[in-house]
Amino acid sequence: MRFLNYKQSLTMEVMLQMALRVSIVIIVVSALTYWHIYKTLVNSTIDGLKHYIHERGQRESVIFRLAESNHQIFRASFLAHWQQEFFYNDRFFWQVFEKRPDHTIHLQKKAYDGFFNPSGLISKDITAYVGANAPADDHDFRKKLLLAYTLVDHFGIAWTQQFANLYVSMPENVNIVYWPGVRWADNASSKLNVVSEEWVYITTPKNNPERKSVWTGLYYDPTALEWMVSLETPVDITPTNTLNIGHDILLNALFNRVFNDHLSGTYNFIFREDGRLIAHPAKIKEMNRTHGMLMISQLKDAQLSHYFQTLRATIQKKQADYFIVEAEDEFLATTKIEGPGWWFVTVYPKSLLSSPSLKAAKFILIISLLALIIELIMLYLVMKKKVIEPLETFIDASSAIEAQRYDKITGNVLPLPDQLDNEIGKLAKLFKSMSSSLQQFRGDMQHLTHTLEDQVKIRTRELQKAKDKAEKEATIDSLTQIPNRHSFYNRAKALLQQADHAGSTVCFLMLDIDFFKIINDSYGHPQGDQVLVACARTIEKTIRDKDLLGRLGGEEFAVILPGTSLEEAQVIAERIRARIAELSFHTSLHTQRFHTTISIGISSSSETIYAYELLYKHADLALYEAKQTGRNRVVSYSGNWTAAQEDISEP
């Protein structure tokens, strides 16, 4: 059809607009669907994550709570036996302990290899180290050693099913260890000082005044080839007689669960509240390199640092054992591992939720677009019969009018549907009437057009002349023919902005003719105008092409010196002052000659900032100083003005 060849066809416009509006509706509906599904998934996921992270925290805390429970049992048992006068004799003591040539005391070899103790049970897997300076001759000390050994032997076999070992350390440089497979003390040097180890000194009254169970930091034990953390519990017999119970907890199994036991698409990590990283699947090499002493702040990992800062703020604020934090692209499910005070984190990417939501929204979008295409086809078929075909006739009629062939319409050469009673018929009648009117006024319009064109050309030339004159009067001072105050301000602002961008120095000169009022009063205003013009010309000839001169009003002038240091500006200002002082003027009747001088104030952008108002103010202050100190001089703004001086003038 001919109508479809027109790029701006009404049919295409209507169909495109309809398609656009319906498409917007479809997109909005799809977006709302995505949002609804996503929010529903978020809510259900957060609920699920809360249950998961709470249960995970409980599960990972079991081993640490069990260690603390074991220590309380050991502590209660030790104090109960001590207070009930635990049976002790030297014969049994020296049956298990022995003094070595280096003056240290160890358990005999059989204590590790195995022997039948007085109760008829086998004792084994225990070694002990007692430093050479320990008070071995003291009865109570030997009693403490024997009771500690007996209880380590009693509890060790049961507790080391879950823990690496059980040991008792003492401030007298003693450690008694139940550790199957590890002869801990057999090869110990006589110079060994267990008190210097973290698992001993963290329990001292100075470091642990509350006398409660404490946990060491994470460390790697090369003997056991395991990552470990130790629980230490002080037992005070008296304020000066004490010992510590210890468990080493192997963490390889915990780390394996952290790295491998996670929700699909997520990962886990553990950190301590002070920023120490305990476990992270992507930081294993760094952990090994630093032997577990790795702080998150040492890593160049902005995302992990952001996680830590966010979680620490929430921990300090909420004081909760588990919670969910929504980050930019992830949910951070966090729970406290009781005991060492670590925090277990599951990073759940939001993409796991957005993907199914997006699929549902895409499906709705595709179905809706197919429906839109079907609707557009049906709309076109209707418009073809009711709109397109009648409009084709009007297109031909419009072409005839454009070609000024009005007779085709008035003579029914083009059959317009003027017989219809709807809007199309009314438009056809209007076309015929319009064609007749156009034909009648065609000649008059041509004549009028020529006349108007001539008048417009004349008026345009007059307006251009008036415009040029007005622009000049608006920017140029009529007397001195230099930029007036408004024009100077605008051009100065532009120069200052350019200097600010380039980082170059700009100087501002304020110039005021001395005793100008006396010249007007004594010699008349025409002579005053002569002085103003002569000063303007002198300043204009003295400054450089790139400098900007303007008259601010009355006898005041201003100059902007771009790319000029304060020292250079002082030289230029002094040259202006000297040349004006050399000028000579006649009175109106040439009966008398007189001279004039000028005072100049200078400010520099290097002393302030690139702001017209500040440069103006500081130059004005300097000019004020020049006037007050005798006139006919150049003064630079020093910045050491009093508050009263700085209030004298505003731009």
The residues annotated with a catalytic role in the active site are 555
- DSSP line for 438-471: HHHHHHHHHHHHHHHHHHHHHHHHHHHHHHHHHH
Decide if 560 contacts 547 (C-beta within 8 A): yes
Query: From CA 627, how far away is CA 635, in angstroms rounded?
Result: 9
- 586 strand-pairing partners: 593
22 pairs with which residues across the strands? none
The H-assigned helical ranges of 160-226 are 198-201
3-state DSSP call for residue 560? Answer: strand
Instruction: Give dist(CA 27, CA 364) in Å, integer.
Output: 9
Long-range contacts of 539-542 (CB under 8 A, 24+ apart): 539/511, 539/576, 539/580, 540/482, 542/572, 542/575, 542/576, 542/579
3-class SS at 504?
Answer: coil
Nearest in space to 621 (alpha carbons), one of 640, 646, 651, 650: 646
Residue found by looking up tokens 């002038």 in the block? 557
Q: What's the longest Cα–Cα distance across the chain?
A: 144
Cα–Cα distance between 249 and 531 in angstroms, integer?
99
Q: CB count, 10 Å around CB of 374?
A: 9
Burial class of residue 415 (count of CB atoms within 10 Å of its CB; 0-12, 13-18, 19+): exposed
Contact 212, 75 (CB under 8 A): no
Measuring CA to CA, which residue among 218, 243, 252, 213 is closest to residue 231? 213
State the amino acid at position 388 in one-letter form: I
Extract the tokens encoding 30. Answer: 């799809």
Assigned token pair, 362 = 């895409």
Neighbours of 440 (CB within 10 A): 10
Positions of E strands within 151-208: 166-170, 174-178
Q: What are phi and psi of 520, to 5 degrees?
A: -60, -45
In the numeric block, which tokens belong to residue 12?
A: 């295409």
Q: What does the alpha-carbon distance between residue 16 and residue 5 come to, in Å, rounded to a whole number?
A: 16
Count the residues in the chain.
Answer: 651
DSSP string covering 57-109: HHHHHHHHHHHHHHHHHHHHHHHHHHHTT----HHHHHHHEEE-TTS-EEE-T
Handedness of CA 88, 90, 96, 97 (dihedral sign): positive
Which H helix or E strand runs over 431?
A: helix 423-475
> Helices 612-628 & 485-502, crossing angle to 10 degrees?
110
Q: 621: burial class by Cβ within 10 Å (0-12, 13-18, 19+)?
A: buried
Q: 281 and 259 in contact (C-beta within 8 Å)? A: yes
